[in-house]
Amino acid sequence: MREGEFEVLSGNQTILSSLDAKGVRTRRIANDFLEFQATLVNTSSGDLHFQWIVEWSDAQGFKLEDPTQTWQAAYLNGKALLDIQRVSPTATASKARVRVMAMNEIK
């Protein structure tokens, strides 16, 4: 659940016990925005139904709001993969993490 020195996944602990993040990468793109890529892996043989969103923070750890982003539903069969890719809302973003919640969990 950790890649390098920062937390990649956060949120619902039940879901996180069966979810991992692989191939986590970031890079600076046009206008110095941060691009984030990761593959979410269902490590269990059972199905996972959850929602996810990428959260951004600046170099000081302050959360950056992204009014254009919405929670995404995901249904992963046992051992399935989900590739995700997002671009930060501002050039001040320095970190990204994937937050997961159960489908019926209040946001």
Residue 7: what pLDDT? 77
Question: pLDDT tens across 69-100, in order?
Answer: 999 999 999 999 999 999 999 999 999 999 99
Residue 67 confidence class, pLDDT cut points 50, 70, 90:
very high
User: Is residue 106 very low, low, confident or very high in pLDDT (cuts 50, 70, 90)?
Assistant: low
Reported as a single tens digit per residue, the pLDDT across 6-27 is 579 999 999 999 999 999 999 9
Is the dihedral angle over the CA atoms 74, 7, 66, 63 positive or is it negative?
Answer: positive
Q: How far apart are CA 41 and CA 91, in angstroms?
A: 29
